[in-house]
Amino acid sequence: MFNFHKDHRSLAFAAFIVFAGLSMLIAVLPAYQMQKTSPLPGMKEMTEAQKKGLSVYVSENCMACHTQQVRNIEMDNVWGERPSVASDYYYTKMRPDIWRQSPSLLGSERTGPDLSNVGRRQPGREWHLLHLYNPRIVVQGSVMPAYPWLFTEKDPSQLGPDDIVVPVPEKYLKHKDRKVVATQEVMDLVAYLQALKQVDLPGTEGPGFIPSSRVKEPSGEKGAAALPDGEALYMQTCAACHQADGKGVPGAFPPLAGSPVVNDENYETFIRIILLGYDARAEYGVMPGFAGQLADEEIAAIVNHERSSWGNKAAPISPEDVKRIRDYAMQLNP
């Protein structure tokens, strides 16, 4: 029928047909089907700043070390509220135009953590700015490279009203007499990172993961024995800012070791800060609230860990204490 050894024209034609068929099957059809993916209810369209931040994210090749895919396995539970679905990428997977392909954001390595839900795990703007300027400021053992070209330095007398000064500790400054100022480029990148939040799937309850070991099963006991692991929760939720040793970052995040707020016999203010957040821009970065992310048992476990570590010796609290303050705080701040 075909003698490919001698009929090279037929060989080239057959190779082209196979190539075209595989291209349709592997590339064209999946891309066409992807365009029909609908956004999830509750997803917000990306702002112009977030779109520009996505471009910065791609240009800096952040996908080489960070993934954006939460798998339905136990070890991925820490990275998201639920496993990723195709609709999670509806806005970030849209083609810029007919000539350019959508950026590949899934990633294949986790040299750094997955970023699918980083907007919920780490919503604070100051943390992201410090982390991008020099990751070792907030994560001492980080292997992530610094991105100082996304910032500029100015003399304090030259600062304008719109300049966003990054509270870099003095020992990390190249020039002690100058201030580090965020460029619009890095602000767009931070806006994109803050926008990475998983939304709830319609018609489902809970995270949809294999049961997590993060929270212990209720044992029927009362007190600390029935609470989750407070130290583990602190390391997952709080240590990025307040550090593993509770000393915080000078000028950016306050210390918890020896803090009068943490050790106060009246713990209401402390719990309200965790629930609702706190804005102390004059002295420290803004702390986001965790009312929507942490259960009463988790907050109680974290508080008890902080009130009994790094030399702190305050009395423990119970989930009922957190619930009482949560209910009251939510009435005042609906």
How big is the CA angle at 70 (ends 236 and 128), to the nearest 5 degrees?
50
Q: Does residue 182 share a domain with residue 47?
A: yes
Lowest mean pLDDT among 19-28, 200-209, 222-231: 200-209
Q: Report yes or no on 273 lying in a domain.
A: yes
Range of the domain at 286: 224-332
| Residue where one domain finishes, among candidates 188, 210, 232 | 210
Query: Three-state SS for 334?
Result: coil
Give dist(CA 255, CA 253) in Å, integer: 7
Token duo for residue 210: 């294999």
Instruction: Work out the pLDDT band at 211, boundaries 50, 70, 90.
Output: very low
Q: Does residue 233 share a domain with residue 203?
A: no
Total domains in the chain come to: 2
Sign, CA torsion 254/255/260/265: positive
Give dist(CA 82, CA 209) in Å, integer: 6
| Residue where one domain finishes, among candidates 177, 210, 243 | 210
151 alpha carbon, distance to own chain's centre: 21
Which has more pLDDT, 209 or 185? 185
At 128-148, the pLDDT tens digits run 999 999 999 988 889 999 999
What is this structure's pTM? 0.75
Q: Does residue 75 share a domain with residue 152?
A: yes
Confidence at residue 87, expressed as pLDDT on a 0 to 100 scale: 86
Q: Does residue 190 share a domain with residue 327?
A: no
Q: Does residue 180 share a domain with residue 56?
A: yes
Q: Report yes or no on 277 lying in a domain.
A: yes
Q: What is the mean pLDDT of residues 171-193?
A: 93
Contact, 188 vs 53, CB < 8 A?
yes
Q: Report yes or no on 18 lying in a domain.
A: no
Q: Report yes or no on 284 lying in a domain.
A: yes
| Residue where one domain finishes, among candidates 210, 237, 261 | 210
Q: Does residue 263 share a domain with residue 159?
A: no
Contact, 255 vs 246, CB < 8 A?
yes
Q: Does residue 206 share a domain with residue 235?
A: no
From 169, 191, 193, 195, select the one nearest 180 (Cα to Cα). 169
Q: Report yes or no on 167 lying in a domain.
A: yes
Contact, 295 vs 221, CB < 8 A?
no
Full DSSP string of 195-256: T--PPPPTT--S--SSPPSSSPPP-S--SGGGS--HHHHHHHHTHHHH-TTS--BTTTB---
Model confidence at 124: pLDDT above 70:
yes
Q: Does residue 51 share a domain with residue 179?
A: yes
273 burial (CB, 10 Å; 0-12 / 13-18 / 19+) is: middle
Q: Does residue 237 share a domain with residue 189?
A: no
Cα–Cα separations (whole angstroms), residue 183 to 54, 89, 135, 173, 324: 15, 27, 17, 17, 43
Contact, 300 vs 250, CB < 8 A?
no
Q: Report yes or no on 12 lying in a domain.
A: no
Q: Report yes or no on 66 lying in a domain.
A: yes
From 317, 306, 324, 169, select the one nearest 239 (Cα to Cα). 306
Q: Report yes or no on 37 lying in a domain.
A: no
296-306 and 319-332 are packed helices; what angle lies between their axes, rounded to 10 degrees? 110
Choose the most confident range, by mean pLDDT, from 5-9, 46-50, 119-123: 46-50
Model confidence at 191: pLDDT above 60:
yes
* CATH code of residue 127: 1.10.760.10
Confidence at residue 281, expressed as pLDDT on a 0 to 100 scale: 59
From 74, 19, 10, select the one nearest 213 (Cα to Cα). 74
Residue with structure tokens 């009362």? 222
Q: Does residue 256 share a domain with residue 188?
A: no
Q: Does residue 194 share a domain with residue 151?
A: yes
Query: Three-state SS for 274?
Result: helix
Q: Does residue 232 share a domain with residue 200?
A: no
Confidence at residue 222, expressed as pLDDT on a 0 to 100 scale: 46
Model confidence at 110: pLDDT above 80:
yes
